[in-house]
Structure formats: C-alpha cells, structure tokens
Amino acid sequence: LGGKAVFTRISNDVFRKDELEILFIAAVVILVKAAF
C-alpha cells in the first residue's frame, strides 16, 4: 500500500513536470558525455 502510494505520487509528479524532467535528464546526459 505504501509503495503503491509512493509510486502513484512519483508518476503524478513526472506527468506534471514532464518537460522539466526531460530537460533535466537531457542536461545530465550532455554533461556526462562532455565529461568523457
């Protein structure tokens, strides 16, 4: 029950901030590739 509630909340946050999340991940990927 607790795990499902956490998963639901994470899913809602991801859908709500989908674009910011994608931009953040893209920035991290770019930084990682630049580092190597």
Is the pLDDT confidence value at 1 over 60? no
Does the predicted model carry a pTM greater than 0.85?
A: no
Residue 15: pLDDT band with limits 50, 70, 90: low
Quote the CA–CA distance of 10 and 3 in Å, as a whole number. Answer: 11
Is the pLDDT confidence value at 11 over 80? no
Quote the CA–CA distance of 34 and 2 in Å, as a whole number. Answer: 39
Domain ranges of the chain: 2-35
DSSP 4-15: HHHHHHHHHHHH
pLDDT in tens, 19-35: 777 888 889 999 999 98
Residue 16: pLDDT band with limits 50, 70, 90: low
